[in-house]
Structure 1
Amino acid sequence: MKLRELAHSRTGDKGNTLNVSVICHDPKHFDHLRRVLTPEAVKTWLADVVQGEVVRYELPNLAAFNFVLRDALGGGVTRSLALDAHGKSVSSALLGMTIESP
């Protein structure tokens, strides 16, 4: 199944760092996503974009995760030669990640 079936996303970027929040549609899926949506899995899925560290912060009261993706914007949005490879594009790519069903 695709991650977008269980969650939606919000993003923000600053310099060469990207924040991607993944928010469960239903809080009952939080524990499942905690198991399958590891920093390693996110980095592997976004390997073409993310060159640096991926850090996951858990927000259980919101049934959400915030991923900080370092070295993910080709030097920064204003320096990158990539066509719209920031925020919304990356969150859409992450929501297309194939995960196991709960």
Structure 2
Amino acid sequence: MKRDGFTLIELVMVLTVVFILAAVGAWRISGMREEARAVAQSDALATVQRMQSLADMEGLSIMANNTLGRILELQTKLAARGHYYYQMNPTNLAAQVAYDSALRQWRKP
């Protein structure tokens, strides 16, 4: 008489392989998250540097201490001259702002 199904050893082997693949996948995803955060911080810093350069060309004064409030003030001045930026806080990447052309002011999205 022929039996259908899997043996206990086959099931244990398959589960072992699945757990190993899940562990490797979780390890790789955690590394990718840290890498993405570093890239985002680098991009935010580059954007602030471009803003400072543009402000210098426009003749606007820049303080060395760029807090989010100072960045928003600078963005408002640049937006009034026809330059628009969609920016995030370079210190914690949490406070995103967007320019509302109807209200002509910066707002949280």
Report the TM range for the smaller structure's normalisation: under 0.3
When Rg is computed on C-alpha atoms for both structures, the one with the higher figure is 2
| Higher normalized strand content (fraction of residues) | 1
TM-score, structure 2 as length reference: 0.26
